[in-house]
Amino acid sequence: DDIVFTPIMDRPDRIPPSRFDLHLLDIDSHTMWMVELLDCRHGRVLLMDTLWDEVIMCEPITGEQRRLTVPPEFVRNRFTGAVLCAAIDHDHVHGSCHSSPFNVVLISALGGNNQPIACVYSSETGEWGDIIPSSVSFELFYDHTPGLLVGNALYWLLDSIGHDILKFDLDKQSLAVIRGPPLTNDFRHGSHCIIQAGDCAIGFAILSYPHLQMWQRNINFHGVATWVLWKTIDMRMIIGLPKQIQGKRTLMRRILGYLEDSDEILLSVGRGAYKVQLKSKKSKKLCENSYLTRYHSFNSFYPPGDFSSLVLIL
């Protein structure tokens, strides 16, 4: 499938997609590399080369590209992954991470001996770390829906129609499975997603027209976690969404993604893809969406002010 950059900022900040090149054309054969988009974060894009057991870290702003051979335990196994900036400076602003170190996290439900595993690559050492096993078995939903970074942990939905969540703690270097809100398991595909709630807590959004419910996971002093209903939004009050959704037969089909940098969700409404700002309750149409796609948020800027905010569509 093609990977397309779609600008979402207004002019004069709107940068044309032609400015961004992932350099996926093989010069010798004049054919495109067979890749899948895994993740975007902090100005970088993570791709999986489906032929060579490699992942590719790209910086579309600078054109830098780095190919990483995956650890042997991940070869010929399905996996998901994430890329993130590893800068620890207090005054560092994510987005201008072009010269900063980065980490790549890979996770597979069927690693060595069919055991769930994770592994972290550090650009500072130029090496993969130790294989991190999990004592909890799980099945990972391999549609390359991007994970969510909240605090110093990464989260993925384990199932497109369930509510279990996979957590990778970057500090403890550990894997865990946490239960979602105490709701029915009768989810439609694409009707829910992980979000960031208040106080850097993980949240869970569920679209059941005409309402969008948002739950927050709280942890007390004893380490006991509970889910509470945090907010409920009446989707009929969202400014900018097509009027058709206000009728008895809604054209709002599914949640396409969540933008962790701006606290926005992406919705499929009719044949269009819209981003909805959860605080202001305003929306904006991004593009036509007449076929099944996956959306990843790409944000970056390059001094002296060359800023870009796009959505990658696969």
* Residue bearing tokens 């007449």: 290
More confident residue, 252 or 175: 175
The sign of the CA dihedral 253, 256, 257, 263 is negative
pLDDT, position 314: 43
Task: Using pLDDT thresholds of 50, 70 and 90, give the confidence band for residue 305.
Answer: very low
Task: Using pLDDT thresholds of 50, 70 and 90, give the confidence band for residue 112.
Answer: low
Average pLDDT over residues 186-213: 83
H-state helical runs in the chain: none
Cis peptide before 12 (omega within 30 of 0): yes
CA dist 130 and 123 (Å) reads 15
Whole-number Cα distances in Å, 20 to 97, 123, 170, 298, 310? 16, 23, 30, 11, 10
pLDDT per position as a tens digit, 152-179: 999 998 875 567 899 999 999 999 999 9
DSSP symbol at 243? G
Minimal CA–CA distance to 312: which of 38, 64, 95?
38
Average pLDDT over residues 259-287: 87
Q: What residues pair up with 206 in beta bridges, in sequence order?
A: 192, 213
Has residue 245 got a pLDDT over 60?
no
- The mean pLDDT of the chain is 80
Are 209 and 235 in contact by the 8 Å Cβ rule? The answer is yes
Whole-number Cα distances in Å, 110 to 51, 150, 177, 229? 19, 25, 15, 34
List the chain domain ranges.
1-144+294-314
CA dist 264 and 305 (Å) reads 23
Has residue 311 got a pLDDT over 70?
no
> First vs last Cα of the chain: how many Å apart?
6
What pTM did the predictor assign?
A: 0.86
pLDDT, position 98: 65
CA dist 276 and 290 (Å) reads 19
**How do 102-108 and 117-122 pair as beta strands?**
antiparallel
Name every residue whose Cβ is closer than 8 Å to that of residue 249 and which is 6 or more positions away in sequence: none
Can you read off the two tokens belonging to residue 265?
């969700």
